[in-house]
Structure 1
């Protein structure tokens, strides 16, 4: 090679090396941008866009909590935290205390995220997450949503102290997400509206993935609506691979990507529920990892007493309660409410202090959607015990029939702590898959398991749990934080926790019975999001 050729080759090498160095520098700069600046940088040129796509190629969840009493400051703090790093919002969920204006917080957040991001905001009885300023994990339980002032007694309205917000923003390449409402019209029967809700979910999923089964559903119910029939029909319609989690009772607003669904505040419709639906994207890149949803359950109730069979049932429709008599399984004596409660209290004496009581009713009901042939579904439904007298046992809820079998359950912190340990063991198995990615677990590598990366988690916990239930702090979040201390986490204390997944993930109490169970009491439901590599 002559001198001129050598000089050209050297010059080309220098230029190539400089380009590589510049790309490395640019990569490091882009990594440090906020989400808004990152989005702008991706529009500069094709080469910048490609580099941004490489930086943000893996799924990501960002969450933050603020207890600032000013809603404007609290919203600003969580937004700045979740958008402090590169992320493209595919969905957002916010949960606030009743001291904040639902519509005010909704408007502040949608202004920053834009109208194209599916978004649900709801009130909660408490929030779980990491503080936006200190990164400290906090479980904050406020109690009932709403309240009355009592100046003479020296009490403050609940709204005064229920100030706070937890915000979660997710980037889930390979999935499509949208918010789909359950709308009630005075002109249409509730059954038809429930069927339409399910079909809307199936139709949306089919439109983006080619199949009718979504990966997961996060659902929020309106406090005055009866969510049991809704969850029953969803459970019936969806395969067990579809994870369903959420809050049975609260207040919410939503924003759908499909403008035709955005009817909040309409005089024609009332939104009884809204579902954030996650469906496979049929157009996803082949290099995108497969996102999976996993569910674990910490059960917080224990069985007490024998099985009973309902003998007579009266439904009190105005307040949705049921009055019933029963007899013990295998016996003929008909028991009134006072007799049943006396027997249960005798069994609980010296075992637990003032527990909340429920009856778990095993129901065999026909279920169908539209004109299809109905089939029998067996489910376990919990009804809170109100009281009893010499005539009846009084419980919350309806749809209890003569001949249904039930057992009494009581809130039990010892059972809850034990099942928290079970949930932690399951999540530890997911962590083992993560360690295999780094070569730390040769057993996992040897059997060629699918490698997973956990990138986020959500918790839906009963508002009866928390520090007052366990006698110590941060028990509900422990199964997740012990296994994934650096992974973003958000959660709420809710009025009725919804959790449905593979039975192998839902704890021993779920496997004891063939009855399906999606609505829980005194439980914590853990949704863990992972991606295969």
Structure 2
């Protein structure tokens, strides 16, 4: 029998860090029948004062060649009863251990000062990461919330590693300005990005649920300056928006007062734009005099956009639509072995009014694979072929062997 990829996760709610570490190590190791190649650890911000103790405690009980991890305002994993939980604002520790045959595993820590100029050649990025572009690597990145270089790093990886998939998130704290941390092997860092490149018989497939639904029609930016929309369909943007809102239902009109976003079409050639074809960005403000709208991204003339609304129902329907589509597309492929979930601090119980919503919906479609992750200050995942930093999103990275895929 060929050596099989294995993936095990355990989530502990023990309030003592020693007990939590012993719990997750024992349970993950008991699920594996082959050597560990990679570990991923997510620690709740409830343990903020004990972050520095985590790696020494793990090292006493566990030998793993590559380990990355970070802190989160909440963590996600599998309880001892076998169900997946999203634990927010309480002590929790999630450990994932994997056996990855025929996969090269390379970890790295990068600070913004090391990043090449965006005009640099792909070789500069390849030298920085330390991994060749072939076979195409798959990346998991965990960044400090204050790492100004993350957007440049994502662009650089897309440029130097065409066809690669990158998922991850920004470490988070308790939402009260608490400390964050990222882990790389036996080191703890406050800044930069830690990551792992996985090359060989492995693929990461993604679901990026931005939690919005489009309203109205698609417009074209006919004049723009950096992140400011000056004209839509040769009309004043604020007048276009006011007309759109006037035609909404009472419920949606109320929602538009605080949950209105812009979706930027990511494929300029696609005629019929569907849910998932848009990159959702916040509206930063309006200029009543000029009628312009400022958003949290750059716009360019000719780009198409559609206004979006976000609420719990839209988020639920968006994720279910994407999970159904994924399940249909992957029916004939090798079974997934594990998955990671990077969810915004603004989702979870605060959005849905109940715990474990996104993870339970995921498990309804992919039942028998371990799921682990954390609540992020920003989520990393691809939309329309580009890897981007998101907000209010749940990004899933689903791991499987290449199988017969080309």
TM-score of the two chains, using structure 2 as the length reference: 0.77
Tell me which of 210, 229, 234 is aligned to 2:152.
229
8 Å CA contact 1:381, 1:519 repeated in 2: no
Q: Which residue of the partner structure matches residue 74 of structure 1?
A: 20
SS in 2 for 1:360: strand
Query: Counterpart of 1:112?
Result: 61
By how many angstroms is 1:93 displaced?
A: 1.0
Aligned match of 1:174 in 96, 102, 107?
102
Q: Does 220-229 or 192-201 show the bigger shift?
A: 192-201
Matched residue SS, 2:358: coil
Once residues 193 and 76 of structure 1 are traced to their aligned partners in structure 2, the CA distance between those partners, rounded to angstroms, is: 46
The gaps in structure 1 that reach 5 residues or longer are: 1-53, 143-160, 257-261, 281-289, 315-321, 365-378, 434-449, 501-509
The structure 1 residue matched to 2:317, chosen from 412, 418, 424, is: 418
**Cα distance change of structure 1 residues 405 and 67 upon mapping to structure 2, 3 Å threshold:** same
Point out which structure has higher relative CO (alpha carbons under 8 A, 6+ apart): 2
> Residues 247, 111 of structure 1: CA spacing in aligned structure 2 closer, same or farther, 3 A cutoff?
same
CA change 1:59–1:349 in 2 (3 A) is same
Contact 2:8 2:97 in 1 (8 A): yes
Q: Distance in 2 between matches of 1:238 and 1:308?
A: 31
Q: Is the 8 A contact 2:84 2:360 kept in 1?
A: no
How far off is 1:223 after superposition?
1.0
1:304 aligns with 2:215: yes
Matched residue of 1:166: which SS?
Answer: strand
Distance apart, 1:399 and its partner CA = 4.7
Q: Give CA deviations for 1:270-325 in whole Å, capped at 9, x if unaligned.
A: 84222211012xxxxxxxxx4433223434112235536375647xxxxxxx6x35
Distance 1:192 1:179 in 2: 25
After TM superposition, give the deviation of residue 460 of structure 1 in Å.
Answer: 1.9
1:62 and 2:4 aligned: no
1:62 Cα offset (Å): 0.9
Note closer, same or farther for the CA distance 1:79–1:465 as it changes in structure 2 (3 Å cut). same
Return the alpha-carbon distance in structure 2 between the equivalents of residues 223 and 424 of structure 1.
Answer: 28
Q: 1:511-530, aligned counterparts within 5 Å?
A: 516=386, 518-530=388-400
Contact 2:381 2:390 (8 Å CA) reproduced: yes
Distance across 1 between alignment mates of 2:247 and 2:61: 56
For the 8 Å contact 1:128–1:138, the answer to whether it is kept is yes
Q: Which moved more, 1:224-233 or 1:60-69?
A: 224-233
Q: Which of the residues 375, 378, 381 maps onto 1:496?
A: 378
Residue 224 of structure 2 is aligned to residue 278 of structure 1:
no
Q: More strand per residue: 1 or 2?
A: 2
Is the aligned partner of 1:218 residue 2:122?
A: no
Are 2:242 and 1:350 equivalent residues in the alignment? Answer: no
Distance 1:68 1:301, change over 3 A: same
Over residues 381-420 of structure 1, what are the superposed CA-to-partner deviations in whole Å (9 max), with x where a residue is unaligned? 5432244353576756465567765443321433433333
Q: What TM-score does the superposition give when structure 1 sets the normalisation length?
A: 0.60
In 2 relative to 1, CA 307–230 (structure 1 residues): closer, same or farther, beyond 3 Å? farther
Alpha-carbon spacing, 1:473–1:255, altered in 2? closer, same or farther (3 Å):
closer
Which has more helix, going by share of residues?
1
Q: Following the alignment from structure 1 to structure 2, what is the Cα–Cα distance between the partners of residues 410 and 120?
A: 35
Q: Does structure 1 retain, via aligned residues, the 8 Å contact 2:107–2:197? A: yes
CA contact (8 A) 1:427 1:480 kept: no
In structure 2, C-alpha distance between the alignment counterparts of 1:308 and 1:249, rounded to whole Å: 36
Alignment of 1:199-214 (within 5 A): 199-200=126-127, 203-205=130-132, 211=134, 213-214=136-137
Per-residue CA deviation, residues 107-140 of structure 1 (Å, 9 max, x unaligned), is 32244334x5211121223222221x43332122
CA contact (8 A) 1:179 1:255 kept: yes
Three-state SS of the structure 1 residue aligned to 2:14 is coil
Unaligned segments of structure 2, at least 5 residues:
173-179, 268-276
The CA distance in 1 between the partners of 2:229 and 2:206, in whole Å, is 37
Corresponding residue to 1:294 among 199, 202, 205: 205
Q: Name which of 164, 181, 184 aligns with 1:255.
A: 184
Distance 1:171 1:358 in 2: 41
1:153 alignment partner in structure 2? none
1:469 aligns to 2:398 (yes or no): no
Is 1:383 aligned to 2:259, yes or no?
no
Q: Does the C-alpha gap of structure 1 residues 431 and 390 become closer, same or farther in structure 2, counting only changes over 3 Å?
A: closer
2-side partners of 1:100 and 1:279: how far apart? 33
Match of 1:127 in 2: 75
Residues 283, 296 of structure 2: 8 Å contact kept: no
CA shift for structure 1 position 100: 1.4
